């Protein structure tokens, strides 16, 4: 009998979902989620209570062997950076020079990659501009109707198989005709829907390329500045250049007398 009951497809169990008015708060928290969150909260409360008790029972005058090597300044303990947190203390000059060298190599590599990417994008932008100008020239040849200026009234003549508008000096013409805005509007009206969408996609792709180019130029300038500052630090560490010490005193590199 149990085998027959298991053979029949039964409705899957679905947990209660978050109400519509509370969907902005995310998924509905179940009891197992609340149990885990409450357990973690209670453990943190217990840990904080123990730390507060230790801090309240601590004796600042109690002797410790660290007092033998520690120093104070105006009643405040002076610590060396890194030693209090289990670090190894300050690094030696040779280690710092090695790290500076590795940093300079990394910056140089990233700068070269950024410069190559920027040059490639600039070439692509130039090719896109050339293609766009070529397409514009081909589109302008589709409409052979042109305007020429003559002494007579406005009329249309045909020269070399093409129609030309002869415009007199007394005809009313706006500056928009000289800028080509009317021709662009007429050209936009003559384009089909697919051509308009293709032109819009090309314009959007060019905007994305320009933003990427600006980002690459900014990154290249930042990397160049960082590399120059790092090289200046390495030169000072190697006593290859002058500068200003921490007390504000200028110094020069002593050159060997010849």
For 108-166, the pLDDT digits (tens) are: 999 999 999 999 989 888 888 887 777 665 555 555 444 444 444 444 444 444 555 54
CB-based contact 166:179 (threshold 8 Å): no
Q: How far apart are the first and last CA of the chain?
A: 110
Break the chain into its structural domains and give their ranges: 93-234
Q: Share the mean pLDDT of the chain.
A: 76
Q: Is 33 exposed, middle or buried (0-12, 13-18, 19+ CB in 10 A)?
A: exposed
Decide: pTM greater than 0.75: no
User: Which tens digits make up the pLDDT trace of 181-196?
Assistant: 455 555 556 778 888 8
Q: Can you name the residues that pair with 151 across neighbouring β-strands?
A: none
CA distance 191 to 189: 6
Question: Own/partner pairs for 187-192, CB < 8 Å, 24+ apart?
Answer: 187/139, 187/143
**Confidence category of residue 38, pLDDT binned at 50, 70, 90:** very high
Q: What is the mean pLDDT of residues 197-205?
A: 85
**Axis crossing angle, helix 93-142 with helix 193-237, rounded to the nearest 10:** 160
pLDDT at 44 over 90: yes
């Amino acid at each position: 009998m149990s085998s027959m009951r298991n053979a029949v497809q039964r409705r899957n169990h679905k947990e209660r979902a978050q109400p519509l008015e509370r969907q902005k708060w995310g998924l509905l928290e179940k009891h197992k989620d609340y149990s885990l969150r409450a357990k973690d909260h209670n453990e943190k409360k217990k840990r904080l209570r123990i730390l507060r008790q230790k801090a309240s029972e601590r004796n600042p005058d109690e002797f410790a062997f660290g007092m033998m090597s520690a120093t104070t300044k105006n009643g405040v303990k002076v610590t060396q950076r890194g030693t209090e947190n289990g670090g190894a203390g300050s690094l030696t000059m040779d280690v710092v020079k090695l790290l500076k060298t590795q940093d300079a190599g990394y910056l140089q590599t990233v700068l070269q990659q950024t410069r190559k990417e920027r040059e490639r994008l600039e070439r692509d932008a130039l090719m896109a501009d050339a293609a766009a100008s070529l397409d514009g020239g081909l589109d302008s040849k589709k409409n052979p109707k042109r305007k020429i200026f003559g002494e007579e009234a406005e009329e249309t003549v045909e020269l070399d198989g093409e129609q030309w508008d002869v415009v007199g000096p007394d005809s009313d013409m706006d500056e928009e005709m000289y800028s080509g805005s009317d021709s662009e509007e007429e050209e936009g009206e003559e384009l089909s829907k697919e051509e308009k969408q293709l032109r819009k996609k090309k314009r959007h792709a060019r905007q994305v390329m320009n933003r990427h180019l600006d980002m690459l130029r900014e990154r290249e300038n930042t990397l160049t500045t960082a590399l120059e500052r790092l090289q200046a630090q390495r030169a000072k560490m190697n006593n290859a250049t002058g500068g200003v010490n921490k007390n504000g005193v200028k110094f020069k590199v002593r050159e060997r007398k010849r």
